Structure 1
Amino acid sequence: MQIDIKSWIYAARLRTLPLSLSGITLSALIAYSRGFKVDLVFIMVFLTTLSLQILANFADDYGDGVKGTDNASRIGPERAVQSGRISPRSMKKALLFLGKLCLLFGMLLIYLSFKTYRAPAPLIFIFIIFTCLYASIKYTIGQDAYGYKGQGDLSVFLFFGLVSVQGSYFLYTHHFEWDVLLLATAIGFLSMAVLNLNNMRDIHSDYQSNKYTFVVQIGLYKAKIYHLFLVLLPFALGSLFVKLNQHQLIYHWAFLILLIPVFFHLKKIFSISDLKKFDPELKKIALITLLYALIIGLGQVF
């Protein structure tokens, strides 16, 4: 049987991958700037994160597809299961394969990071790996899918923010640092902003499909106010991080230049009445998140 590679690449939603890699890249740069070796562990963190994100994208495609949430009234890009490009049965097989791959990468990562470490930290990270797997699958799959109950924002904050930045930093260094927690929170908020844009775009179709996202629960106007805080607070947190580390050089503050595109982005958000116009803004905030991580991280290295 011939495999339609293009359909699987399409279902993987490659445009979401830079966002998922922002946190682990930021933490690696900070760890490296503080004298820690990150090479092999970073490779395994990268592979684990990448496979988990693709697993989550496939699960989202499958869950919304079989429930009928992805339908003709949905504004966003057409999904693979919805369009018939990939059958539900084939997607289930792919989910099983990716789940095993994530588990393999995760266990290798924990071994490489903690092979000479005797404290209970390895057990905690084994639990985190299984929790990540569960969260990736249960966002839209099953009767009790938490994405349908408005809990997606919390999940994104935990996994794209705290686990991605603070968790991977611990894997590199075996240390917990309070200033890194500031950046973990910042990346978490920016990642939540991307989800918030997605949910604002889909507010009508989600409501019709009984998918009660946080946006559906609070309404479009309040979601825009919520978005304002999600996008601006990371710059206050980043400034506090720089201040705590007593950096004086101007390039340590270079991330603040991103406030310029953020200003135009927010101006656009508050003027939107046609829900379709939210879609291009997702890419902008995802790119801003990646640039935020790179600028702050590289500012610590040089």
Structure 2
Amino acid sequence: MAKVSSAKRPPARRRPGAPARGAVAPQRAGVRGWLGASRPRTLPLAIAPVALGTGAVWGQRLDGTYWLAFLALAVALLLQIGVNFANDYSDGVRGTDRYRVGPSRLTASGAAAPRTVLLVAVICFVLAAAAGAVIVIVTQQWWLLAVGAVAIAAAWFYTGGTRPYGYAGFGEIAVFLFFGVAATAGTSFVIAGVVPAESWFCALAIGCIASAVLVVNNLRDIEQDRTAGKRTLSVRIGARASRILFGILMAVPFLVVGYLTLFYPLAPLVFLVLLLAVPAVLITATARTARELVLALSLTGITALVYGLGLAAALSF
């Protein structure tokens, strides 16, 4: 009679979000869970550049279709929310979120079915495309369709696809380009058909803050991302260089304000935002725990919103 092998069988693979054998099934996400998964703290990165692009053309008293700013804001917000859900889905099905130290995600935790999370992301992208299509029809700038398509593709391939660029350390560059240059200068262009110099300066400033948000976020997850094989910029350059880079990115916007004070008497008031930015830089430079970096992340997001609205107002009046 053949002996039965006593070797342990390898654990069966399970789909993302499914509970382990013998584990209690996770509670399904409610409204609060879905709202949290949209990551409201990232939404200032969509609001601030649209405000700055609008303020730049308003301050020049340029003729334009100013109600298009609301559609530009809708596009930016829907893209930001869409990319948040797309990241939730992609990181969850890859298994990357098993190593997270931040708030749990819908897909990885099993609080929502992966297909449902993906569907919500797609709906956000479709709605963003619809709002963008209205802008194109009103302005008759048909080449903007290509810009919108690239923006949606960039949102998806940040963590989606077979070779996501967010896993290769290019996330900060994409954030700078889309939530800095494209959102700010693009808003000015769809409103007035031109992009004044102020809009380009504002694009540089808010693009740096948006990139800083991603830097401190990736710094928080640096060890977990390294374990998961996610080669973010912070993983590539290390924690010390990431802290230095964060400080530089947070300094550039205030150099921009310093220049704009030569022409706009209310611009010096924007220096008050340093009351938020400086603590964020100090915490990031000295943080030893993930909780401290979460605080720095929150302060940086608030800095983006207050800076964007404040400088937009200074340019407008």
Q: TM-score, normalised by structure 1?
A: 0.91
| Match of residue 129, structure 1, among 148, 152, 162 | 148
**What is the CA–CA distance in structure 1 between the aligned matches of 2:272 and 2:120, rounded to whole Å?**
41
Q: Which moved more, 1:9-18 or 1:157-166?
A: 9-18
**How far 1:93 sits from its partner (Å)?**
2.1
| Match of residue 231, structure 2, among 212, 228, 238 | 212
Cα 1:169–1:104, aligned 2, differ >3 Å: closer, same or farther? Answer: same
2:290 matched to 1:272?
Answer: no
2:301 matched to 1:286?
Answer: yes
SS in 1 for 2:67: helix
**What is the CA–CA distance in structure 1 between the aligned matches of 2:178 and 2:306, rounded to whole Å?**
19
Aligned 1:12-31 pairs, distance under 5 A: 12-31=38-57
Residue matched to 1:261: 276
Conserved in 2, the CA contact under 8 Å of 1:75 and 1:276?
Answer: no
Instruction: Return the index of the structure with the highest Cα Rg.
Output: 2
2:96 matched to 1:69?
Answer: yes
Conserved in 1, the CA contact under 8 Å of 2:69 and 2:191?
Answer: yes
**How far 1:89 sits from its partner (Å)?**
1.4
Aligned 1:135-214 pairs, distance under 5 A: 135-214=154-233
Residue matched to 1:106: 132
Aligned 1:83-94 pairs, distance under 5 A: 83-94=109-120
- Structure 1 unaligned segments of length 5 or more: list them: 116-121
- Structure 2 unaligned segments of length 5 or more: list them: 1-27
**What is the CA–CA distance in structure 2 between the aligned matches of 1:219 and 1:234, rounded to whole Å?**
24
Residue matched to 2:25: none
SS in 2 for 1:144: coil
How large is the RMSD of aligned CA atoms in angstroms? Answer: 1.7
Aligned 1:229-244 pairs, distance under 5 A: 229-243=248-262
**What is the CA–CA distance in structure 2 between the aligned matches of 1:37 and 1:177, rounded to whole Å?**
13
Conserved in 2, the CA contact under 8 Å of 1:25 and 1:293?
Answer: yes
Q: TM-score, normalised by structure 2?
A: 0.87
| Match of residue 81, structure 2, among 42, 54, 57 | 54
| Match of residue 68, structure 2, among 32, 35, 41 | 41
After superposition, the C-alpha distances for 1:226-246 in whole angstroms (9 at most, x for unaligned) are 111000011112222332xx2
**What is the CA–CA distance in structure 1 between the aligned matches of 2:252 and 2:125, rounded to whole Å?**
34
SS in 1 for 2:159: coil
Q: Which moved more, 1:172-181 or 1:184-193?
A: 172-181
Conserved in 2, the CA contact under 8 Å of 1:183 and 1:241?
Answer: no
Cα 1:206–1:3, aligned 2, differ >3 Å: closer, same or farther? Answer: closer
Conserved in 2, the CA contact under 8 Å of 1:162 and 1:181?
Answer: yes
**What is the CA–CA distance in structure 2 between the aligned matches of 1:3 and 1:154, rounded to whole Å?**
33
2:32 matched to 1:6?
Answer: yes
Matched residue type, 2:154: A
Q: Which moved more, 1:188-197 or 1:171-180?
A: 171-180
Conserved in 2, the CA contact under 8 Å of 1:10 and 1:80?
Answer: no
SS in 2 for 1:70: helix
After superposition, the C-alpha distances for 1:93-142 in whole angstroms (9 at most, x for unaligned) are 22332222221111012222x14xxxxxx233111100110011111112
**How far 1:291 sits from its partner (Å)?**
1.0
After superposition, the C-alpha distances for 1:155-203 in whole angstroms (9 at most, x for unaligned) are 0000110011111111111112233211101100000000001000000
Aligned residues: 289
Question: Greater helix share, 1 or 2?
Answer: 1
